[in-house]
Amino acid sequence: NAGVTQTPKFRVLKTGQSMTLLCAQDMNHEYMYWYRQDPGMGLRLIHYSVGEGTTAKGEVPDGYNVSRLKKQNFLLGLESAAPSQTSVYFCASSYVGSRSNNIREQFFGPGTRLTVL
């Protein structure tokens, strides 16, 4: 299994441009998440999805949109990129059902480094 994959790995945008980040998982997980990570800070949740066709806002959703048309894919869109969106973006997924100890571990992708000029 590839686990969680993200494309692209790197991207440079100019202010006002748009782009879509793709996350794919092959573990049949129901839940998927998008985070951003800024220097000196932990991961902050942007949006998440609890199943195909559903999305919800996280801690820092402004300026981003998401879609979950297929269970295995979770897309993160930037309609009009701003320098404040320069960050490393991580996608993660987790089980719906709990493990034996009822803890839902999240599995992370390798990240996308985005720079907005």
Partner 1 sequence: GESVGLHLPTLSVQEGDNSIINCAYSNSASDYFIWYKQESGKGPQFIIDIRSNMDKRQGQRVTVLLNKTVKHLSLQIAATQPGDSAVYFCAEGGTSYGKLTFGQGTILTVHP
Q: How far apart are CA 17 and CA 81, in angstroms?
A: 5
Name which of residues 58 to 77 contact partner 1 (CB under 8 A): 58-59
User: Of residues 88-107, which lie at the interface with partner 1 (CB under 8 A)?
Assistant: 90, 92, 94-95, 101-107
Q: Six-digit token pair at 76?
A: 């993160």
Whole-number Å distance between alpha carbons of 54 and 38: 27
Least distance to partner 1, CB of residue 80, Å: 27
Chain centroid, CA 61 distance in Å: 11
Distance separating alpha carbons of residues 12 and 29, to the nearest angstrom: 30
Query: Nearer to partner 1 by C-beta: 38 or 79?
Result: 38
Nearer to partner 1, 17 or 61 (CB): 61
Distance separating the N- and C-terminal Cα atoms of the chain: 36
Question: Which residues within the stretch 19-38 sit at the binding site for partner 1 (CB under 8 A)?
Answer: 31, 33
Does 108 interact with partner 1 (rule: CB under 8 A)? yes
List of residues contacting partner 1 (CB under 8 A) = 4, 31, 33, 40-45, 48, 50, 56, 58-59, 90, 92, 94-95, 101-111
